[in-house]
Structure 1
Amino acid sequence: MEKILVSLAEAKARLSELSDLAARGEEVVITKRGKPVVRLSRVEPARKPVDRERLLRLTAPMPVQSEDAGDFIRRLREEARY
């Protein structure tokens, strides 16, 4: 994917086309006096909020790990060396 650079004056004339390109995932950068000032990009859909109660119900039956995650990974790395 190539970055598309356009001047502010050109962007005014081609806004509809540039917005279509950005919506398809192209990187469109608008410059003013040769310096980048604005980037057009596609809008990402909003994430759904986490249902805390549902998450708690899902994880409640899972056993609690006796070992800290960092210690676990460290132990795995050490064991893999030998």
Structure 2
Amino acid sequence: MDINIAQAKPRLSELVERAESGETVRISRRGKPVVELRVIAPSDAPQPFDWNALTVLVSEQKMWTPPPGYEDMSFVEYLRRTDQL
């Protein structure tokens, strides 16, 4: 769908809904397209943090290997004991 800015202003909500339904909406200024409204692909949306993956990495010690003398403590405890946290 092509529409000029003056026509688009009062219909913005409608145009967004049309874009969400998959239609591409082009907004023109003086007859030349300047903006395109389209739905953002789901893969572009932020993904929730995967706490399970973090737990697995930490339990397998793939994220942090303690320096000598600190093997028996967690990363957070190490930071606390060395005044870094």
TM-score by length of 1: 0.51
Identical counterparts, % of pairs: 43
2:2 partner letter: L
Task: Name 2:28's counterpart in structure 1.
Answer: 31
Q: CA deviation at 1:36?
A: 0.2
Task: Name 1:65's counterpart in structure 2.
Answer: none
Q: Per-residue CA shift, 1:12-71, capped at 9, x if unaligned?
A: 01101000000111000000000000000112534578xxxx8xxxxxxxxxxxxxxxxx
Unaligned 5+ segments in structure 2 are 50-55, 57-85
Of the two structures, which has the highest relative contact order with CA contacts closer than 8 Å and spacing of 6 or more?
A: 1
1:24 partner letter: S
Task: Name 1:68's counterpart in structure 2.
Answer: none
TM-score by length of 2: 0.49
* Alignment root-mean-square deviation, CA: 2.7
Task: Name 2:19's counterpart in structure 1.
Answer: 22
What SS does structure 1 have at the residue aligned with 2:35?
Answer: strand
1:32 partner letter: R
Structure with the largest fraction of strand: 1
The count of residues paired between Structure 1 and Structure 2 equals 56
Q: Does 1:13 pair with 2:10?
A: yes
Unaligned 5+ segments in structure 1 are 55-82
- Structure 1 CA distance, aligned partners of 2:47 and 2:18? 24
Task: Name 1:45's counterpart in structure 2.
Answer: 45
